[in-house]
Amino acid sequence: MVYYKVRVYTGGNFCATTINKVYIKLVGEKGESNRTKLLGLKGAASFYQGTSSKFCVWTDVDIGKLTLIELDKQATFMTPQDAWFVDKVRVKNPEKEAFIFPIYRWIDDNKVHRFREGTALRVIDDTHHLGRYGREQELKIRGEEYNWDVYADGLPHCIKTTGPLSLPSEVQFSFSTEFVYTASAGLTELKLKGLDGRCTAWKSFEEINKVFTKKTEITEYVQKNWKEDAFFGYQYLNGVNPILIRRCTTLPSNFPVTDEMVILHGCGSLADEMKKGNIFLCDYKNLDGVRANLIKEKRQYLAAPLVLLHKTPQDELKPVAIKLKQTPAEDNPIFFPSDSEYDWLLAKAFVRSADFSEHQLNVHLLRTHLLAEVFAVSLLRNMPMVHPLYKLLVPHTRYTLQINFLARLLLISKTGVFTQFASSGGDGMFTILQRSVSSLTYSSLCLPEDIQERGVESVPNYYYRDDGLKLWDIIHGFVKGVLSFYYKSDDEVGQDSELQTWIQDIYEHGFLSQPTTGIPQNFSTVEELIKFVTMVIFTCSGQHAAVNTGQYDYGGWMPNTPISLQQPPPTKKGSATEETLLQTLPDVGTTVNGMATMWLLSKQSSDFVGLGTYPEGHFCEDAVQKLMEGFREELDKLSANIKERNTGLKVPYKYIDPKEVENSVAI
């Protein structure tokens, strides 16, 4: 008889314990054990949350190098079927050679589940017939469990599911997180209950200030500076939407600004300044002609502005001209800082409100949440757990399917907060999203190329760019290390059928088979693969953090980010007053619902998993462990540098500080 020492690790998460009977079968290259009940010294306490327990499994003969285990658990009359979270199983053979089987998932049924030994294997490495069979079976089950669905025509596809709890248990998250998108919780936390139903306009800015009790270091700065032109410009670099601004080399034909109109802070002509790279444009053409929402049956308004900005000799970015609608017309004046205080402030309020819609729908929802879901679904459908790409990417998909389901249910559904309270909620939202899809290119998702394409390489004080590019390089270095370890030649990439199916699924369901997106339809080199995987991890971590974390910082003081506007864009100059602005800003109920939602969406979750931390040990190879350590060291260095840099800034930029960035889109 040959005996194997088995140690089973039950997860430390809430309710991970099972009291069911657990069975194991060891499968080796030369044979297999019987299905054996795991009986240990701890008895019924063997599989308690956060513990590990030892067992023995006997075989008649040496079964050779272990390739997989089969686990199942059975309810009894006394112990009804429960859910068990297993971290891993370690098996030692008589020669004391250890085999680790990473699991990190719930088992909540009585079926047999197969788990592979932890050494990553591409399909071409998987030569053992049982290994190959297990791989095929796993992909068959995954293909049935994770299906694509169409939420709306023209948008990236999403996971097919009927409810937040109907997703496979391996991707479920803690129940408390389900309430994250209900404004009600935020209203209570911000002590705004009772105001959420009020349809009246604000009477004064002091009245808004009275409900603005929850403050952060940045919200206080915003409240003091929201009227300042330099701060208005600063937000295009380091606010929640840092990807719209582009260098302007030729004025668009629908924005006929002349030298006589603008004041360029003592510099030369518009043409000279454009040539020097000091003129920038923000164009909200995605919002053109979109019919704004009705809030409590009252018509709302949404502009589609063009904003021209100038980099001053003092290295500030200041708006010099604003046009609120795209088509030139007499009733569509161009506003300038030299106009009356309230004409200019009102024009800027329309821009900030347009920016809210552009940011939430294009920059945040589409370009991070919906894409992260595409990457997750394609991974879960096409990659077996033993594949190195599964091991590398699965931590970056954590909670994404659930949070997106909840976003569809609680934010953008017919009764969702966004639909009820944002000017671009409802039908307009789909128009904006569909238009946004048309600008969704591969190069715009790769930060180094995006910065170049937008011509913003040398804009001063652009911390999103500076921190983002450093983070991109660190992620790229890590991904290169891991993938070069598994793929020694371009041919090996081409031969990996699972890898090719993964990218084809992304191309088809995420980018709707549009070759103009530039998204690869297959991979033929290791380098192409490294770049794409870098983009996936960057999008799910740093980019999402950059556009998510500051929502309350920049939106908590409502006048800086009105989520809707109650009056149409001004058609002439000279009549706006403080009263006009207050009548235009969202009503009390809309304001507090917006504040509450942004508060909830900016909060760090209690089970936050920071970028580069991999509590689930999917990789077992020492070489990859070392790469992970190196990755974390680089991230720590970047974090320290960012913290140091921030000490000298009036407004710290901390959204891409790796210590604040989560591994995945989880909020």
Instruction: Please state, in angstroms and rounded to a whole number, the distance separating the CA atoms of residues 558 and 587.
Output: 11
The 10 Å Cβ neighbour count of residue 14 is: 12
**CB 403 to Fe ion: min, Å:** 7
- DSSP H helices in 427-519: 427-437, 442-445, 447-453, 463-486, 490-495, 497-505
**CB 213 to Fe ion: min, Å:** 24
Instruction: Please state, in angstroms and rounded to a whole number, the distance separating the CA atoms of residues 556 and 550.
Output: 10
Hunting for tokens 């294997």 — which residue is that? 121
Q: Which of 239, 329, 128 is nearest to 554 (CA)?
A: 239
The residues facing 158 across adjacent strands are 149
Residue closer to Fe ion, measured from CB, 366 or 624: 366
**CB 364 to Fe ion: min, Å:** 6
Residue closer to Fe ion, measured from CB, 237 or 407: 407
The 10 Å Cβ neighbour count of residue 492 is: 16
**CB 614 to Fe ion: min, Å:** 21
Residue closer to Fe ion, measured from CB, 404 or 590: 404
**CB 409 to Fe ion: min, Å:** 15
Which spans of this chain sit near Fe ion (rule: CB under 5 A)?
Answer: 548
**CB 217 to Fe ion: min, Å:** 21
Instruction: Please state, in angstroms and rounded to a whole number, the distance separating the CA atoms of residues 614 and 623.
Output: 15
Residue closer to Fe ion, measured from CB, 286 or 539: 539
What residues contact residue 151 under an 8 Å CB cut-off, 6+ apart? 157, 158, 408
**CB 651 to Fe ion: min, Å:** 21
Side chain identity at residue 554, one-letter code: Y
Instruction: Please state, in angstroms and rounded to a whole number, the distance separating the CA atoms of residues 350 and 364.
Output: 20
Residue closer to Fe ion, measured from CB, 477 or 610: 610
Residue closer to Fe ion, measured from CB, 17 or 362: 362
The 10 Å Cβ neighbour count of residue 82 is: 16
Residue closer to Fe ion, measured from CB, 300 or 548: 548
Residue closer to Fe ion, measured from CB, 357 or 584: 357
**CB 405 to Fe ion: min, Å:** 13
Instruction: Please state, in angstroms and rounded to a whole number, the distance separating the CA atoms of residues 652 and 571.
Output: 38
What residues contact residue 50 under an 8 Å CB cut-off, 6+ apart? 10, 11, 12, 16
**CB 243 to Fe ion: min, Å:** 15
Residue closer to Fe ion, measured from CB, 321 or 406: 406
Residue closer to Fe ion, measured from CB, 18 or 597: 597
- DSSP H helices in 360-399: 371-382, 388-393
**CB 346 to Fe ion: min, Å:** 30
**CB 359 to Fe ion: min, Å:** 11
Burial 175-200 (b: 16+ CB within 10 A, else e): eebbebbbbeebbeebebeebbeeee
**CB 156 to Fe ion: min, Å:** 15
- Cβ distance 506 to 374 under 8 Å? yes
Residue closer to Fe ion, measured from CB, 564 or 602: 602
Instruction: Please state, in angstroms and rounded to a whole number, the distance separating the CA atoms of residues 11 and 661.
Output: 24
Residue closer to Fe ion, measured from CB, 368 or 500: 368
Residue nearest to Fe ion (CB): 548
Cα–Cα distances (Å) from 615 to 94, 199, 296, 543, in that order, read 29, 48, 47, 22
HSE at residue 275, side-chain half, CA atoms within 13 A, is 6
Cα–Cα distances (Å) from 421 to 127, 312, 324, 362, in that order, read 57, 37, 21, 18
Cα–Cα distances (Å) from 502 to 126, 179, 390, 486, in that order, read 18, 32, 10, 17
